[in-house]
């Protein structure tokens, strides 16, 4: 289960970008996750919840934006979503494809509780 190490990497990234103020609590972490990233979202959410106990991320929601697998067909020039199991152009069936999206794994935003000192 490599989702645990991915969850730990997400926590490390978030902690690096938190304001240096004391007692900052994270409300949510936005994540872009491609269809071909090789991550099981439910497992990632479980691991994230488990390892954030006792940290500023405890109770934070992991908001996952699922990114479909899209490609450019070098045979017919069409860009479109492709089935990961078929890996063929949806228009012509060609297999000469350039991947455009679907492999992402990126922390896109961090929402923190507003501190009383910030206005």
CB atoms within 10 A of CB 29: 22
What is the span of the domain harbouring residue 59? 3-18+26-112
Length of the chain: 119
117 inside domain: no
119 inside domain: no
Chain centroid to Cα 54, Å, comes to 23
58 inside domain: yes
Q: How confident is the model at residue 119 (pLDDT cuts 50, 70, 90)?
A: very low
Tell me if the pTM is above 0.75.
yes
Q: How confident is the model at residue 110 (pLDDT cuts 50, 70, 90)?
A: very high
62 inside domain: yes
11 inside domain: yes
**Cα 59 to Cα 15, 20, 54, 71, 87, distances in angstroms:** 15, 20, 9, 37, 38
**Better pLDDT: 113 or 103:** 103
Total number of domains constituting the chain: 1
**For 19-56, what is each residue's pLDDT tens digit?**
777 678 999 999 999 999 999 999 999 999 999 999 99
Report the mean per-residue pLDDT for the chain. Answer: 92
118 inside domain: no
What is the spatial distance between Cα 119 and Cα 117, in angstroms, rounded to a whole number? Answer: 7
């Amino acid at each position: 289960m490599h989702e645990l190490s991915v969850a730990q990497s997400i926590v490390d990234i978030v902690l690096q970008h938190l304001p240096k103020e004391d007692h900052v609590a994270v409300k949510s972490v936005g994540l872009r996750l491609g269809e071909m990233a090789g991550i099981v979202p439910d497992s990632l959410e479980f691991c994230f919840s488990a390892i954030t106990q006792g940290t500023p991320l405890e109770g934070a929601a992991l908001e996952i934006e699922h990114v479909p697998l899209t490609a450019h067909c070098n045979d017919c020039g069409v860009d479109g979503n492709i089935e990961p199991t078929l890996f063929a152009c949806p228009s012509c069936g060609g297999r000469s494809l350039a991947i455009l999206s679907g492999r992402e794994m990126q922390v896109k935003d961090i929402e923190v509780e507003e501190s009383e000192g910030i206005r």
